[in-house]
Structure formats: C-alpha cells, structure tokens
Structure 1
Amino acid sequence: MLLRRWLYPLAVVLLLGQMALAMVTTAVQQSPTIDEPVYVATAQFYLDQHQVLYNPEHPPLAKLFMAAGLAFTGAALDPAYRGNQTNLGRHLLYESGHNPFELMLAARLPIIVLTLLFGLAVLFFARDLAGRWAGLIALSLYAFSPDIIAHGSLATLDVPAAGFVLVTFWMLWRAREHPRRYLPLAGLALGAALATRMSTLPAVPMALLLVLLAPAVVNPGPIRAWRELGKRVLAAIGVGLIAVAVVWLVYLIVDPRLRWTTPAWLDPSGLKAQVVDLLPLPPSYRDGILIQFRLEQKVTNGFLLGEAYKGSLWYYLPVALLIKTPIGMLLLWLAGTVTLLIKKWVAALYLLVPAGVLMLVAMTGSRNYGTRYVIFMPMMLAVVAGTVVLIRWRWAWVPATALAGFVAVSALLTFPYYLPYSNEAFGGTARTHENLHDSNVDWGQDLPRLSRHLKEKYPGQPVWLVYKGAGVPAYYDIEGRNPLTVPIDEVRGLLVVSDSRVALARNRLKQLIDSSTEIDQVGYSFTIYRR
C-alpha cells in the first residue's frame, strides 16, 4: 500500500528529473542562439542601470528572471558603452572579459526552473479535469516535448509567456468553483504573461470573457445566472486591474522612476497608435507594441518543405508544428480533443478555444521563423491529451500508454539535439533542415560542437565559414574565412555553412554549394562540404 502511494509522486519526480537533465545538458552544450544575447545583455543592463532602454519591444519580466541568475556571476556592463541592443549582447558576452558559457548558463537556469514549474501546472490542470492519471499522461507529453525542452533551456521569452498563459486559464478553470481564491491568481498570471511578451495580449479578452461566461455555463437558472453575471462583471474588472497592476509593478521594479523617451524613429501617429495609446499600460510598453507593429511590416524570408520564399504563409505554423511534434503526441492531441468535446465540453472553453485563437493570431504574423511562436500548443494540448482517460473502455490505457511511450522514445533518441527535432514521418532530426530553417533547426547554437568536430576530424584543414548566429566563431577557436569575399576559385578545403543559410542560399553562396560535395553534418545545424 505504501509503495503504491509513492509510485505516483515518484513518476512525477522522474519525469521532471529527466526533463531537467535534458534541459541543463542542452544549456551547457550550446552557444548563444540568435535572440539570447539581446535578452541577456538587457537583463544585465537592468541590473546595472535600472532602466528600460534596450529591447523595449519585449516587456521585462522574463529578463528579470534572467537577471536573477546573472546577479550571481559578478558580471557588469561598461557604463560608457554605446551601441544597439545586438552589439550590446556581443559586447557583454565576448568583449568584456566575461566567460560567455557562465553568463549564458546563469541566465538560462531561471528559465529552466520556470519550465519545470509549468510542468506542475500541466500536471494539476489535467488532474483537475480528469483525475490523477490524466495528469500523469499530460506531464509525460510535456516533459518529453522536444520543442518545450529545446526552448525551455534557452534564455528567451517564449516558454515563460506561454506558461503564464496556461496558468491563467488553469486558475480561471478553478475559479468556477472558488472565485474568491482563484480569480486574483488568474489576474496575477495574466499580468505575468503580459509582462513577458506582448503576443499574449489576445489572451486578455478571452480570459475576461471566461470570467463573465462562467455563471451562465455553470448555473443555468436565469435569475441566479443574471445575479452571478453581475458579480462576474465586477470580478472581470478586478482581474483586468490586477493584470495591469502586475505589468506596472514589473516596470517599476526595473526603474522606479519609469524613465522613457519615445525613439525618434518611431511614428506615434495613425489609428493603431491612437488605439494603443488608450491602453492603461506604461509608456514604454505602449511604444513596444508600436515597435512590434513596425517589425510586422517587414518582408522576411521563409523556408518550408524545401522551398524558400519571401513573405509569410498562413499555413506555415500548422505545417511546422506537424513536422516538429512527435507522432504519438499528435495522435494523443487528437484523441484528447475528441474526448474533451464529448465528455467535458465546458473545459474546451479554457483550453481548445484559447489555444485555437492564439494559434490563428500567430498565423497572421509576418515572421515564419519557428514553432516557438506557438509553444503554448504543446503545453495546452498536453492537458487536453490527458483527458483520454475519460474514455470508458477497459483497455483504453493500453494505446494511451503506448503512444506516450512512443513520444518518450522519440525524444530520447534525439537527445541532446532537441532544437532541430522533427518526427519520423519527416525523416527525423537529421532531415529537419530539408523542411524548415531558423529556430526550428539552426539558431546559431552549435559553435562549440563545430569547434570540437573540426579539431578532431579535420585538424589543420582550411575552413571557409558561412555562419548565421549571434556567437563569435573565433572565441570557440574556429578560424574560418568568409568565402563570399573572394573569387569562387580560391575557395578550397572545407566549406562550413549554417543550415539556415543553406536553406535560403542564392547567388554566390548557391554557386559555392552547388559546386561542392557534402561530406558531413554537425549538430544537425551545420553542413560541411568539400571543395
């Protein structure tokens, strides 16, 4: 009896333990990805200067968590340094005498801890819906999700923002029965989401609407429903005020004086600017929204299923998600969705509807860079998948367990290369670069692996490097010349190209690749050619 009582918590500890091991291993082995130096340097700037100046297009909360880790390193920025946020990141990591490995690990560890805590939210949300075994299935999918492990091990904003959104709707679900206890917590979580990424703004009307709809759903009696609805209107206002207060508090933590000057290049006129100006949020937050609108106007390069293109494709994110999600997970998502709609349709308002709306909003974006923009999907749909235990069939646990096991095997086989993962139907991790690019496969993370590989396998051979990333190859003892600056005939030896550059290769780089022989791969993000 005692053994059975401990089996469940032991399973939870093992699932989160392997996830922690996978994330820490990944964090230790990888060089800074493209976005990380900006966030880490901004976090250090918060510590040193206590001001929102760099990276205003993203709110500070996740960067404050990173700053908590950086505080133990003794790092500091040169107060006289002047440069843009990209150069600031390079300056901190590679030009200030600091150890970039130590700084990156210090900034990544708080995000890893947050990711593990969100795993507990997944567990308890699913338990609330369908019992303890639903929680275990949901947690297993979360803990073995290659996308969540990959991005949960980085000092970025995607997982924290998605996690706070998940907690918001979990608290709203619990608030149906205990509103006084959980509605304030929902407001706190919603505020934390808003203070992490502006892409979470569409969650606000959905969350407030759920506060309003709850009595009509739970209490069908007309008199009681209207009375409760009046209370919920006040409750919705309260949740909104708490969320706004959290955002203000986060900005006050960074800078108690709230110093901010609108950049000269940012046009605060127009209908969008007028609407944004009505938001009861700090001035730097509102200007950050306008910067995001400006970024959305840029035409970017995309790559999907072997085809490069300019602009964005509306179906990019669903297809990318299909490629990068384990097959067993996709099937459990589908089974859980059907089960939820049949057995507990009210819960769909708290999971399927928010996930669907946020997905649709993300699909309108102009930047086809990766599934990290919809990292909330494997979180929320893990909870949905757990509801398969509600199927009243004696042997239903067999296929559910088998599919969860298939997910675990698929994730373990890709260890520690989680970022470039794709499922077996699309050729596995080794072939992700043939279908996707950027943060789906190659985000500049493999400079240490490339350095070791070149020293061990190709010592002394001339290297020509085309690298896409935020790292500095020379710091990792990679002495590669730029093949795009000399005549093609002079490029002899090893041609090493980031797979994101291969995907979008044209003109001179395409000629170099077409006239070379592919001989090797490193980290599933670099391709090595012989010339």
Structure 2
Amino acid sequence: MAIAMITTAVQQTPTIDEPVYVSAAVVQLEQHSLRYNPEHPPLGKLIMATGLAFADVRLDPNFAGDQTELGRHVLYESGNDPGRLLLLARLPMIVLTLLFGLVVLQFARDLTGRAGGLVALALYAFSPDLIAHGSLATLDVPAAGFLLTSVWMLWRARNNAIYLPLAALALGAALATKMNTLAAVPVLLVLAALSTRHRTRNLVTMTLIAVAVVWVSYLAVDPLLRWETPPNLPAAFVDWLPFPEPYRDGMRVQFGFENRVWGGYLFGTHYEGSRWYYLPAALLVKTPLGALVLWLAGVVVLVTRLRTAAPYVLAPTAVLLAAAMSGSRDLGVRYAIFVPMFLAVAAAAVVLVRRRWTVAAAGLVAVSSLLAFPYYLPYSNEAFGGPAKTHLHLHDSNVDWGQDLGRLADRLKRYPDERTWLVYKGSGVPEHYGIDAADPRTVPPDQVRGLLVVSDSAIAKADERLRALIRTSTPIDEVGHSITIFRRP
C-alpha cells in the first residue's frame, strides 16, 4: 500500500481540491491565519503542514484573492515547485493512512482473532479507493480514520476505562478535520454509554475532550483566534454549538454548498441535482468484487454471531452513509470513504465461518487492485469494465479529478507536429507542464483541427457545442483512464 500510494503521489499532478488545502495549510503555517478554507476545520491542514514545514514556500504576504486563486498563486505563480509542495503535503497523509491500516488490523483482531485481523488489513491495504484518496492532500481519509479509531477505542473501553479519553481524542480529531463527521457524534456517544459504567460522567468527559480538541486545533493556528465572518453566509441554527466562531461559520459555508444545485453523472446519464442512491451505486462500481462479497457476508455474520460488536462497526457506517446520501453533491465515493474502512473490519468476521473462502476472496481483491496499478483514482471493478471504462459510468473524483495533467504533457510529445485543443477539468495549469493548447469552445468549429484533448468529466457534462466536436472526431489515445485524445481532421 505504501508503494502504491507513494507512486501515485509522485506521478499525479494536483487534483481539484488539493491546491486549496495546500495553500491554506501554507497560510496557517506562515501567517497563523484561519481566513482561507473556513468550511473545513484546520487539523487536516495542520497535518499537511508537517510536511510543508520542510519547504521554503514563497508566499506574497499581501495576496488578497479567494482560496481558489490562492491555490494557483502558491503552486504556480510564486516560484515554488508545485510537484515538491504537493508531495510534501501528501506524505503526512500517506503515513496517516498507513497508521489507520494498523487500527483496522487491531480492531478486527480484537473481534475475530489474528486471521480476521489479517483479512481486514488485506482488504484495507488493497482498497483502490483508500490507496487513491490516502495518497492525496485531502481530508476525507483522515476524518474517516479518526472516527474509526474512536470507535475502536470505545470497543476497548468496555473492559478498560482508560480507552475512553483516547476515544474522545480521536473523535475530536475527526471533528477538527471535517465537519461531516458531526453526523456520527450521537452514535458514538450512545456507544460510549454502552461501553462504560459511569455513563453520565463519562459522556460529559468524552464530550468535553472532543470539543477541547477542536478548540486546540484552531488555537494552534492562531492563539488569538482572530476571525472575520465572511459575507453573505446562509442562516443556520449553529450558534448553540460549543465550537469556535470560525467553525460555526464554516458550517454555514457548508450549508451554502448544500443549498446549491450540483450536476451528477451516473451510468451514462448527466443530471442536475442529486439522487439518493448515487453513493451505493458508485460504491458498487468502485469496489472490488471480492470486497463486496466479503462486506455483505461480514455484515451477516456480525448481526448473527457477533451481536455485541455489530453496533460498533455497523451503526456508525449506516448513519454516516445515510447522511452522505442525503447530501446535494454527487461527486464521488470519497464522501463515503469510511465504508471500506469500517466494512473491512466487518468482513473479518467471515473467517469465523468460512476461513478458506474468505482468504480466496481477499486474494481476488489483491489481484484486482494490483492490476489497476498505478491508476487507482479511476478504478472500477471487472463487472463494470475496469479502470478504462469507469468514465462511462461515473465522473469527477471517481475517475477524473484533474490528476493526469503531467502524464498528458508526456503523452503529447508523441504528437509533436499537431495543433492541440484542450478542455481540461482540474486545478493544474497546462502551460506549467509545457502544454501549448487552446480552448476549442472559443473558436468556430471548422477551425478546430488536430488533436482534441478532453477530460473525461468534461465529456460526461459536455454541452452541445463540445458534443458536436467530439462526434466529428476520432478517439486515438487516452491518458491515465481520465483524459481522452481525439483527432479532428
């Protein structure tokens, strides 16, 4: 898993969200300011900053743009090396993802023994989604991993109360990384009550510690907690929450995102808005077949044979998935990245009834994952055609998140004498990688001749003008299973 994540971290150029997180981490590190990316708490970006601290980052102290412009400024306009900055920000996330693998191992071992722990670890380590997102400077994997750690500590607190404060610390870390983890708080408090004798006192203790971790994460950035509320935030009843003002304003920003209408793409159909079944359908495409079977069997065994453990593994998963399914953004399984973590633990239970069968299914997962190397972001299982066909079923962070701009630059060297037209969906700057291309949508169609290069997410959401250009072109190549190269005579 480490080899796969480091390889992808080195080869992939910025995904859409990474420049915002990386540049916000730089501002936190150098200017001790919370003003950028307030919709996400600071802990995840502080973790990225542990890598960025080794870079001599150039940043204009008078920069006054928004966070998207800041990302472009830090990576491409300030004389920094974007590849080096990204790698330094990604490496702490890779280390953290590997550590969460050890949590999966020990949690499953506590429930089912050594064999179950190894099966769970295998499913985790070979999970294409965890490899893909664990190698990026983003927040989904850290938030889910901290929640899993908290649940594991609560399971151990049943026999030793010393684990309760550790569960609270992990819960606080999740809340201080990403706000969608708030949905799990009631479930974890109920589990805490089930795990301890002095329920009221321990629940109060757990709540206070978790809230304190959130406050500390903000104070670590700015001990004076200087903050100016952004304009035009939507109304939301969050003032009663015991969190810092920037946290509550960040929640308002998130509510604003949820009030917007986003575009989705599922099984070849582009649509406006969201569909409640999007995430289960996307997980069906993006999960190795062996893992799907083991997940389902593991849930059955937990419910029938490990009933005491079932609420700890399944209740947080169900609540978080229900919350994610109710969201307005059908943009990728990263919104449900906790599923392969928690259900890897659930799958370990299958060794109690069918050990050889379980090992064989885990082996199929490993083979499917290895065959996808190093293209894990666009992974889909064999039933849906593998990584090369994912773009026919899904879009955005499921397949094409702007990660292959560097690979495209290398591929275009095979076509040195042809004019290039580019429709790129991502945060990278094509010119930085030596790509000299124009937007075909800005000129009359009869002028578009030569190579037509289109991100697959742009194909999925193409307007009539771009669709007409694609219809009259011939596909001749693809890059990273996320960008298609056409030739237009």
Q: How far does residue 65 in structure 1 lie from its aligned partner after superposition?
A: 0.7
The one-character-per-residue Cα deviations of 1:193-226 (angstroms, maximum 9, x if unpaired) are: 00000000011111111122336xxxxxxxxxxx
1:280 is aligned, of 228, 242, 245, to 242
Q: Tell me, yes or no, if the aligned pair for 1:468 and 1:498 is still in contact at 8 Å.
A: yes
Q: How far does residue 518 in structure 1 lie from its aligned partner after superposition?
A: 1.3
TM-score normalised by length of structure 1: 0.91
**Quick one: distance in 1 between partners of 2:139 and 2:205?**
27
Q: How far does residue 489 in structure 1 lie from its aligned partner after superposition?
A: 0.3
Q: Does 1:414 align with 2:372?
A: yes
1:85-484 to 2 correspondence within 5 Å? 85-179=67-161, 181-214=162-195, 228=197, 231-267=198-234, 269=235, 273=236, 275-391=237-353, 396-455=354-413, 457-484=414-441
Give the SS at the match of 1:303.
strand
Q: How far does residue 496 in structure 1 lie from its aligned partner after superposition?
A: 0.2
Q: Tell me, yes or no, if the aligned pair for 1:461 and 1:494 is still in contact at 8 Å.
A: yes
The one-character-per-residue Cα deviations of 1:308-360 (angstroms, maximum 9, x if unpaired) are: 00000000000000000000000011111111111111211111111011000
**Quick one: distance in 2 between partners of 1:77 and 1:68?**
17
Q: Match of 1:200, as an amino acid? A: T
Q: Tell me, yes or no, if the aligned pair for 1:340 and 1:387 is still in contact at 8 Å.
A: yes
Q: How far does residue 68 in structure 1 lie from its aligned partner after superposition?
A: 0.9
Which structure's CA Rg is the greater one? 1
Query: What is the count of residue pairs matched by the alignment?
Result: 488
**Quick one: distance in 1 between partners of 2:463 and 2:64?**
35
Q: Tell me, yes or no, if the aligned pair for 1:130 and 1:387 is still in contact at 8 Å.
A: yes
The one-character-per-residue Cα deviations of 1:81-100 (angstroms, maximum 9, x if unpaired) are: 11000000000000000110
Q: How far does residue 47 in structure 1 lie from its aligned partner after superposition?
A: 1.0
Q: How far does residue 388 in structure 1 lie from its aligned partner after superposition?
A: 1.1
TM-score normalised by length of structure 2: 0.99
**Quick one: distance in 1 between partners of 2:229 and 2:406?**
39
The one-character-per-residue Cα deviations of 1:111-152 (angstroms, maximum 9, x if unpaired) are: 000000000000000000010111000000000000000000
Q: Does 1:72 align with 2:39?
A: no
Q: Match of 2:273, as an amino acid? A: G
**Quick one: distance in 2 between partners of 1:67 and 1:355?**
30
**Quick one: distance in 2 between partners of 1:264 and 1:318?**
36
**Quick one: distance in 1 between partners of 2:184 and 2:97?**
20
Give the SS at the match of 1:464.
strand
**Quick one: distance in 2 between partners of 1:166 and 1:92?**
33
The one-character-per-residue Cα deviations of 1:21-62 (angstroms, maximum 9, x if unpaired) are: 000000000000000000000000001110100000000001
**Quick one: distance in 1 between partners of 2:184 and 2:246?**
20
**Quick one: distance in 2 between partners of 1:308 and 1:295?**
20
**Quick one: distance in 2 between partners of 1:264 and 1:356?**
35
Q: How far does residue 515 in structure 1 lie from its aligned partner after superposition?
A: 1.4
**Quick one: distance in 2 between partners of 1:242 and 1:494?**
57
Q: How far does residue 77 in structure 1 lie from its aligned partner after superposition?
A: 1.2
Q: Tell me, yes or no, if the aligned pair for 2:176 and 2:213 is still in contact at 8 Å.
A: yes
**Quick one: distance in 2 between partners of 1:176 and 1:498?**
51
Q: Tell me, yes or no, if the aligned pair for 1:48 and 1:76 is still in contact at 8 Å.
A: no
**Quick one: distance in 2 between partners of 1:471 and 1:23?**
20
Q: How far does residue 507 in structure 1 lie from its aligned partner after superposition?
A: 1.8
Where do 4+ consecutive residues of structure 1 move more than 2 Å?
none
Structure 1 residues without counterparts, runs of 5 or longer: 1-18, 216-227
Name the counterpart of 1:10.
none
1:528 is aligned, of 477, 485, 489, to 485
**Quick one: distance in 1 between partners of 2:484 and 2:419?**
15
Structure 2 residues without counterparts, runs of 5 or longer: none
Q: Tell me, yes or no, if the aligned pair for 1:362 and 1:373 is still in contact at 8 Å.
A: yes
Q: How far does residue 435 in structure 1 lie from its aligned partner after superposition?
A: 0.2
The one-character-per-residue Cα deviations of 1:230-269 (angstroms, maximum 9, x if unpaired) are: x1111011101000000000000000000111112224x4
